[in-house]
Structure formats: structure tokens, C-alpha cells
């Protein structure tokens, strides 16, 4: 593995992890923007804009973008989160120049009115799609309950009315403020021809007007609100719990990842034995969600409505128990091995590596080879995990309960 | 269950900071295929169990797929859901280990494991570092040959399976696929793997044990490994664990004619979920690659016909796709769209029109693009040890041989536009089995004229 990076004069950063043995490469634009960077008036614009970026440029129609990517046999897509918008394509090594040509061009989209109007309907369909997914609704509500009043509680998709009200002028203005070179990183992973990569990005993006964007990252106050959303159409009770945890920048994030794995991995975790093994809940999992300057432990539980109280009580008791006594040696070793396996499997695919390499840079301006990351995880001690869960109160949760129950 | 394909999705941040569900990818006409030939290994044991291997360069993981011929289509009448219960139950203690000791042992080896039930098989999958493969295999020998199946652990497994059915109510898109398969395939091949609430209320531990006793058999079983493997060591160990396994081969599954037709399930969902299936050629048929190209032209990338016509031009859906799926000797082309009630009829009509229009002709550039996409996907998937273990197991089950990358690419290359049209003529887009979940029915009659 060979890490190289450079910056264009206008501030656009290019980073690559070159692996000469790989059979493919993945490239992406990481834009440091998401729903947390929106004002209420333009709620949903980051995600809508992500769709519009595929709608073509001054020299490509929407169909041209799709057709050219498909001609390369590329795997390409994009995603929008609370704080990142990522565009990516994976191709065989010989198609590096063509794939970069499309990706770089796309980043200066035409934002045509006619496309905007059609795509608005697609966004409204997407909002409806997630309405039929209780886990997503739970998550969406949990973020807004936990980050009460802070932009991290903003909905990624916006709402029907906020999306309907958006105009191309709103979007253009948001684009100008956020998609500036200083706020974007080009990432290449896999079998990359580095000098050709840098030359191509330079030729395509070097003319972009310099600029940078800021973000309010002061650690927001978090709430322990309880939000019960009664929906009689649902059969199961869906419960989400969120408590404070280390951020992306915090060295404690490794201990937090291990703690979450011990508490709520899908197999062999404390919640598995306490809730799923005895079938009190059909699903119970905890993850550590590190964000920019903030973070959370997120737990999702799905249970039948008459068992929901038990499930919630037991989960909180397990949190308490873990805070009191910390992990056992065996638990810690198992969690480390599971994380190391998972990271290795993911790291064997350029597409799997792209996210890790890109986000390490976006959040910390740092490159961490996979082997080093695994070593760091393996080096975390029992005391570090125990200290972490004493520092972050796992039971200080915001709670969302979505389902047939009126109260919980 | 086929995962829904969701282009341009919202980042699923609950599992964030690793990109979500990176589908394996990309190659083209001029694309160079890897020149190093694949290293395949096949070893058939006298008892009918087959061991398969693929050694992959430059990886440190090794993935394992174990297929036991005890799938949901084997569930006894009145004991539907047995296979699904068993897939949970086998992990609740095996050999010398109780539930916790077994799970701890898997976790300590860093096994990323999963268990699920298919029509023909109970599927166990585990991916870990190559150096832990042999130790993982020892655990799976216990799980498959010496599951404890204790009374005390039965009820929770049955209960979890029952909750799987109940949960489908909250996931209409998933439910739509489950119901469609039931109607489309000859019974019981497409039957809901969880059984029914009624069958699960009645099923006993003894019945589930009998399912294991009869169908956990070496004959027709497959153990496939791919990645950083030492084949000789693996083969020797697997033989020592499974070589003395004796059980009579299971009888063939008796089937009856599929129900087919049009079904509407009333539900006050936000979207109308439309799923339709039509017959296709099975894996191994000489027209198989023509069918896959037709699938790709319809739904292969964002320039495919369905995506372009239904989503890009008309904004009717977020998700629309067609995918090919094959049981042994029996296959279907499944199309799904989720759309708001006010445009559901229009969406259905546009989809049917596109399916019909395909049989009128295929453009050379579409065909070339689809060839490239299929071949690309092969190379991209070829980098994943888990995908390769699954692929060689699938090849063996369907074809009783392993296909090399070069063979598949040559076969894709050979398909002409005429071949695709001949396939579509043999399997015209009509006589759909349709399943609609939503507030109001839609008129699906036009599709079957």
C-alpha cells in the first residue's frame, strides 16, 4: 500500500491509497456537507442536490452520465448523510481516465429546471419509501430527539413540504456555498495510476473558483427526551436508544467501537444473550456512530408490543451492568477479533476501502493503513473500555418508540 | 430474499463510516481479464458431500459456504417453518459446547457468520482470517453433525421465527417478494421460509428434530471455501470431520402447479408495492446468458430501460428493477417497483409497456453495454472471498461443475441480439404472476392479454 496526496492550487485535495495487486479501483468525491449544514428553509437540499448531480452538466445530459458509466461497466452511486455527501465509481484499472472524466465533470452540474421538476417526484417517492421502513423512521426520530434543536437532528430527506418548496435558486445557492474545492476531497483507492490520476483531476477541476466552507462543530448539548410515536398500522414495537459517545476526532473511538460490539453486536453480545437468545426481542443491536465533533451509541430493538417494556428495561439494565463491571477478557478478545475480521474483509475490496480512507481524511486529515488500524484496535485494554463507559453514561438515553403502543 | 436495489440512497448512517452495501462491480469490451488462471479444487466424498475450493491471491481472509439439503421446501406438511427454526437452533449449542460456548468460540475466531434458509438448503456462511479457517470448520462440523437441539432452546428459536413472520407486516416491500414467490413457484418450492403463524403455533421440538434427522445429510451437501486457503490441509480436515457421515439421500420434493394470477393485499402503506414475475430459463440452460442480457438491458445500470423510462423520464418511482433468480431447473424474472398510490396504475402500465417493447428489438449499443456490465460484475465480485465461496457453491449445485471467468466471459460475448430476441419470443412478457400491496388494487389485467 502506498499513500500519496496533493492539493491543487484552488484548495481541492487529492488522496490515494495505491494497491498494485488490486483488480479494480474505486474513486470518489467526498463533499463535507449534509443535512446538518442546512437551514430549516432548505431542509432536504443536500440529498436532493446529490440526485441532481447525476442529471448532467453543460456537456453531458443525465442519460449521458448513466450511459457513459454503464459503458465502462462501472459500479457507481452516491449517498447523503447528516454530514457527508459521497459520489463514487468503481471500475477496472484501464478505465481510470474515463471514470474520472465523468466524476469530475458531474461535480459542476447544470441543475436544469426541467430535470429538477421531474427529480422532485423521485425524492417524494423516496420519502414515501422510507415511510414504509420503521427502522429508518425510528432512526430519523432518534437523531432529532437526541440532538434536540441542533442541526444534527435535521432530517436527511427533508419533508414533503420542505422538498416541494425547494427551488433551483435555493439549490444553486447551497451548491455555491458547499461544493467549493476547500470543502471537497477526491479519493482514489486500489489499482490507481497516481500521476495520471492527479493530472486528470487537475485538468478537470483546477479551474474551479477557490473557496472554503465552514461548519459549526461545537459539541452540541444532547437530550434524554422520550418520544412515543403511536402508529397503529405497525405490528412490532420499534425502539431506538441513543446516548453520548466519542466523536470521529476522539482517540476513545476505538474503545467505543469495542464497547458497542460487546454490548450489541448481532452475534454473541450482551443484548443478544439478554434479548434475542430468549426471544424477548427479534432484533437488538448497538453501534457506535461517530460524527464530526459529536457521537452516539445507538441501539435498535424490535419486539412484540406486549414485550416492549421488558425489552427496554432489560436493555437499560444491561447497559448499567456493563458500566459497573466493564468487559470480560473473553468478550474483549472476541470483539477485537470480530472487528479485525470485518475490517480485513472490507479492506480486500477497493470499494470497501474507499469509505474508510476518505472519511479518515475528511474527519482527521489522517491516513491510517488498514494493518495499523487493526493493530490499534487490538491494543485497546480492558481498562480503557471500562473507563470509557464510566465516562459516557450509557443509560443517559434519548428514547424513541415507534409502533402500536400509545405509551411505553 | 433479494435485497432491494437502491440507487442513490440515503447513507444508512446507523452503520456508518464504512460505505454501505457496496455492490460488487465493474469491465468492458476492451477490458483486460486477469491473466492468472483461477485455482479451483473439487473433491467428492463417497457419501455424496462435495468439497470445493478456490485459492485467491493477495487476500488474507477465507470465506466458507456450507449448504445442507434441508431447506424450506423440505418442511413437512403441518410443520412449515421447521427449516427456519432449525437454522437458529443449530447455533444453540453443538457438540461439547452450549449456546454461549459455541458463540464465544465463533466470535473468538473472528467468524463473521450468518445462517439462513433457502428453498433447497439451510445455508451456513462464515468469513474469517484464513489462518482461522480450519478451527472454524471444526465448529461447523459440530453445528451440522452434532447440534444439541435441546428442548430448553427450542421455544426461543420457534418464537424468533414467528416474529420474523410478524415483522414482515411492517416491511411491505419484503412481504411483497415473499408472497410473490409463493404464488409463482410450484408449491412448496417458493413457500415462505418461515412457515405460517398457524404452523409455528403447532410445531414441536420433535418435529424439528426429525427435520434435522431426515435432511441433514451428506448427499447433495456442499462445503465451499475461497480465499487464503491451504487446500490440502482443508480437504484432509473436512474429510476427517465429514467422511464418516452416513445418511440416506433425501427423496425428491413433490410439487404441484403454481397458483399464479393477480393478488392484491390491502394495506394502508405509504407506497404501493408492485411485484411481478414471469418464467425464465434455469441456470445452465443454453439461453441462460441471453436471459441475463435481457435482464441487464432492462435493469442493469442507471441507463437501463426501466430506470430511464420509469424513474428518470417520468419520476414515477425511486426504486424499479428486474432481477433474474433461479432455483434448480426453475427460474423467474422478477420485477419490482414501489410508488405512490396516485401514480401506481401509471407505473404498472409503463413497466409492462417497457417489457413488451424489449421484445421488439435491442439496440447494439445496449447489448454491448450489458455485456460489459455483466463481465465487470464478475471481476469485481471475484475480489470478494465471500462472493466467490457462494458462487462456486452455486455453480456446483446447479451445474455440477465450476465455471472459470474465461468461460463465462466467452459465453457472454457470444450472445447476439438475435439470441436475446429468440429468448424473449420463447418467454414473452405475459402471464405474469403479480402481487400488489397497497391501499387500493390496480388493474393488472392488461398485462395478461
CATH of A2-205, one of 3.20.20.70, 3.30.43.10, 3.30.830.10, 3.40.225.10: 3.30.830.10
Across the interface, of B34, B112, B173, the residue whose CB is closest to A345 is B112
For residues B180 and B433, is the Cβ–Cβ distance under 8 A? yes
d(CA A214, CA B146): 60
Across the interface, of A70, A283, A352, the residue whose CB is closest to B369 is A70
pLDDT in tens, A319-340: 999 999 999 999 999 999 999 9
Q: What is the pLDDT of residue A220?
A: 78
Backbone phi, psi, residue A80, to 5°: -125, 130
Which residue is closest to A329 within chain B, CA to CA? Answer: B108
Contact B25 A75 (CB under 8 A): yes
Q: Do the domains at B35-242 and B262-448 have one common CATH topology?
A: yes
Contact B127 A72 (CB under 8 A): no
Contact B7 A338 (CB under 8 A): no
Q: What is the pLDDT of residue A219?
A: 75
Q: What is the pLDDT along chain B (449 residues), one digit of tens a residue?
A: 222 233 333 333 322 222 222 232 223 334 455 556 789 999 999 999 999 999 998 899 999 999 999 999 999 999 999 999 999 999 999 999 999 999 999 999 999 999 999 999 999 999 999 999 999 999 999 999 999 999 999 999 999 999 999 999 999 999 999 999 999 999 999 999 999 999 999 999 999 999 999 999 999 999 999 999 999 999 999 999 999 999 998 889 999 999 999 999 999 999 999 999 999 999 999 999 999 999 999 999 999 999 999 999 999 999 999 999 999 999 999 999 999 999 999 999 999 999 999 999 999 999 999 999 999 999 898 999 999 999 999 999 999 999 999 999 999 999 999 999 999 999 999 899 999 999 999 999 855 54
A-chain CB neighbours of B271 within 8 Å are 125, 128-129, 131-132
Q: Which of A125, A135, A142, A190 to mutate to test the interface with B (most CBs of B within 10 A)?
A: A125
Q: What is the pLDDT of residue B34?
A: 54
Q: Which residues contact B395 (CB under 8 A, 6 or more apart)?
A: B401, B402, B403
Contact A73 B31 (CB under 8 A): yes
Contact A79 B111 (CB under 8 A): no
Contact A333 B20 (CB under 8 A): no
Residues of chain A with pLDDT under 70: none
Q: Which of A34, A97, A129, A280 to mutate to test the interface with B (most CBs of B within 10 A)?
A: A129
Domain borders along chain A are: 2-205, 226-403
Across the interface, of A94, A122, A338, the residue whose CB is closest to B32 is A94
The answer to whether ipTM exceeds 0.90 is: yes
CATH of B262-448, one of 3.30.830.10, 3.40.50.2020, 3.30.460.10, 3.30.720.110: 3.30.830.10
Q: What is the pLDDT of residue A95?
A: 96
The CATH topology of domain B35-242 is Cytochrome Bc1 Complex; Chain A, domain 1 (3.30.830)
d(CA B434, CA A315): 42
Across the interface, of A124, A277, A351, the residue whose CB is closest to B19 is A351
Model confidence, pTM: 0.93
The CATH topology of domain A226-403 is Cytochrome Bc1 Complex; Chain A, domain 1 (3.30.830)
d(CA B273, CA A90): 31
Count the neighbouring beta carbons within 10 Å of the beta carbon of residue A345. 23
Strand arrangement, sheet containing A236-244: A226-230, A398-403, A236-244, A294-304, A283-291
A-chain CB neighbours of B23 within 8 Å are 75
In DSSP terms, A31 is beta-bridged to A85, A184
Domain borders along chain B are: 35-242, 262-448
Q: Do the domains at A2-205 and A226-403 have one common CATH topology?
A: yes
- How far away is chain B from the Cα of A394, in angstroms, using its nearest Cα? 17
Amino acid at each position: 500500500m502506498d499513500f500519496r496526496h496533493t492539493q491543487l492550487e484552488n484548495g481541492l485535495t487529492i488522496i490515494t491509497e495505491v494497491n498494485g495487486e488490486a483488480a479494480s479501483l474505486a474513486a470518489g468525491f467526498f463533499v463535507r456537507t449534509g443535512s446538518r449544514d442546512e437551514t430549516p428553509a432548505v431542509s432536504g437540499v443536500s440529498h436532493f442536490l446529490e440526485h441532481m448531480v447525476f442529471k448532467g452538466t453543460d456537456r453531458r445530459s443525465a442519460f449521458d452520465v448513466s450511459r457513459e458509466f454503464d459503458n465502462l461497466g462501472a459500479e457507481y452511486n452516491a449517498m447523503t448523510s447528516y454530514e457527508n455527501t459521497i459520489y463514487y465509481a468503481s471500475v477496472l484499472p484501464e478505465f481510470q481516465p474515463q471514470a474520472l472524466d465523468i466524476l469530475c465533470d458531474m461535480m459542476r452540474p447544470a441543475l436544469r429546471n426541467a430535470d429538477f421538476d421531474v427529480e422532485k417526484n423521485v425524492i417524494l417517492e423516496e420519502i414515501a419509501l422510507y415511510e414504509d421502513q420503521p427502522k429508518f423512521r425510528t432512526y430519523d426520530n432518534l437523531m432529532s430527539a437526541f440532538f434536540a434543536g441542533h442541526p444534527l437532528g435535521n432530517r436527511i430527506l427533508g419533508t414533503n413540504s420542505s422538498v416541494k418548496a425547494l427551488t433551483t435558486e435555493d439549490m444553486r445557492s447551497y451548491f455555491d456555498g458547499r461544493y467549493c474545492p476547500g470543502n471537497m476531497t477526491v479519493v482514489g483507492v486500489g489499482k490507481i495510476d497516481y500521476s495520471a490520476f492527479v493530472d486528470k483531476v487537475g485538468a478537470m477541476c483546477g479551474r474551479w473558483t477557490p473557496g472554503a466552507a465552514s461548519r459549526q462543530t461545537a459539541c452540541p448539548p444532547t437530550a434524554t427526551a422520550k418520544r412515543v410515536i403511536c402508529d397503529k398500522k405497525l405490528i412490532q414495537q420499534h425502539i431506538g436508544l441513543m446516548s453520548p459517545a466519542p466523536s470521529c476526532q476522539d482517540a476513545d473511538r476505538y474503545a467505543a467501537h469495542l464497547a458497542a460490539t460487546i454490548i450489541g453486536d448481532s452475534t454473541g453480545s450482551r443484548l443478544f444473550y439478554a434479548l434475542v437468545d430468549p426471544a424477548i426481542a427479534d432484533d437488538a443491536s448497538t453501534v457506535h456512530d461517530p460524527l464530526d465533533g459529536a457521537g452516539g451509541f445507538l441501539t435498535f430493538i424490535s419486539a412484540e408490543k406486549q414485550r416492549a417494556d421488558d425489552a427496554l428495561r432489560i436493555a437499560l439494565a444491561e447497559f448499567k451492568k456493563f458500566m459497573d463491571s466493564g468487559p470480560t477478557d473473553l468478550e474483549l478478545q472476541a470483539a477485537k477479533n470480530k472487528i479485525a475480521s470485518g475490517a480485513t474483509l472490507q479492506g480486500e475490496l477497493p470499494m470497501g476501502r474507499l469509505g474508510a480512507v476518505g472519511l479518515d481524511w475528511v474527519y482527521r486529515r489522517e491516513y491510517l493503513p488498514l494493518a495499523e488500524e487493526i493493530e490499534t484496535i487490538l491494543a485497546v485494554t480492558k481498562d480503557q473500555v471500562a473507563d470509557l463507559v464510566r465516562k459516557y453514561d450509557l443509560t443517559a438515553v434519548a428514547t424513541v418508540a415507534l409502533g402500536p403502543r400509545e405509551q411505553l | 430474499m433479494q435485497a432491494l436495489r437502491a440507487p442513490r440512497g440515503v447513507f444508512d448512517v446507523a452503520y456508518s463510516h464504512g460505505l454501505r452495501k457496496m455492490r460488487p462491480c465493474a469491465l468492458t469490451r476492451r477490458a483486460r481479464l486477469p491473466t492468472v488462471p483461477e485455482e479451483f479444487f473439487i473433491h467428492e466424498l463417497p457419501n455424496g458431500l462435495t468439497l470445493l475450493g478456490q485459492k485467491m491471491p493477495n487476500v488474507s481472509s477465507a470465506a466458507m459456504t456450507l449448504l445442507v439439503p434441508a431447506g424450506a421446501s423440505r418442511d413437512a406438511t403441518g410443520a412449515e417453518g421447521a427449516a427456519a427454526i432449525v437454522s437458529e437452533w443449530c447455533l444453540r449449542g453443538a457438540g461439547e459446547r452450549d449456546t454461549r460456548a459455541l458463540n464465544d468460540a465463533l466470535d473468538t475466531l473472528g467468524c463473521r457468520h450468518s445462517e439462513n434458509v433457502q428453498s433447497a438448503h439451510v445455508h451456513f456462511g462464515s468469513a474469517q482470517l484464513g489462518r482461522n479457517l480450519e478451527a472454524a470448520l471444526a465448529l461447523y462440523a459440530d453445528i451440522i453433525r452434532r447440534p444439541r437441539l435441546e428442548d430448553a432452546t427450542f421455544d426461543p428459536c420457534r418464537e424468533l421465527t414467528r416474529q420474523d413472520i410478524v415483522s414482515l407486516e411492517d416491511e411491505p416491500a419484503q412481504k411483497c417478494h415473499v408472497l410473490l414467490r409463493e404464488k409463482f413457484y410450484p408449491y412448496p418450492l417458493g413457500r415462505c421460509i418461515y412457515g405460517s403463524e398457524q404452523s409455528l403455533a403447532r410445531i414441536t421440538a420433535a418435529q424439528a428434530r426429525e427435520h434435522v434427522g431426515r435432511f441433514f445429510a451428506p448427499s447433495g451437501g456442499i462445503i465451499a471455501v475461497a480465499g487464503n486457503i491451504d487446500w490440502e490441509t482443508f480437504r484432509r480436515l473436512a474429510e476427517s470431520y465429514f467422511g464418516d457421515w452416513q445418511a440416506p439421500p433425501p427423496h425428491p420434493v413433490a410439487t404441484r402447479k403454481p397458483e399464479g394470477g393477480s393478488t392484491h393485499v390491502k394495506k394502508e402503506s405509504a407506497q404501493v408495492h408492485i411485484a411481478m414475475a414471469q418464467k425464465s430459463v434455469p441456470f445452465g440452460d443454453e439461453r441462460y446468458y441471453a436471459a441475463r442480457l435481457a435482464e441487464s438491458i432492462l435493469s442493469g445500470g442507471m441507463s437501463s430501460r426501466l430506470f430511464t423510462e420509469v424513474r428518470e423520464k417520468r419520476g414515477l418511482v425511486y426504486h424499479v428493477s428486474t432481477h433474474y433468480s433461479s432455483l434448480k431447473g426453475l427460474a423467474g424474472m422478477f420485477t419490482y417497483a414501489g410508488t405512490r398510490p396516485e401514480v401506481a396504475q401509471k407505473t404498472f402500465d409503463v413497466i409492462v409497456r417497457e417489457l413488451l417493447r424489449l421484445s421488439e428489438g435491442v439496440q447494439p449499443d445496449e447489448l454491448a453495454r450489458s455485456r460489459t456490465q455483466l463481465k465487470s460484475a464478475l471481476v469485481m465480485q471475484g475480489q470478494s472471498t465471500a462472493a466467490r465461496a457462494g458462487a462456486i457453491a452455486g455453480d456446483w449445485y446447479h451445474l455440477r461443475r465450476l465455471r472459470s471467468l474465461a468461460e463465462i466471459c466467452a459465453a457472454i460475448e457470444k450472445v447476439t441480439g438475435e439470441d436475446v430476441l429468440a429468448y424473449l419470443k420463447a418467454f414473452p412478457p405475459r402471464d405474469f404472476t403479480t402481487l400488489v400491496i397497497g391501499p387500493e388494487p390496480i388493474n393488472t389485467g392488461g398485462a395478461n392479454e
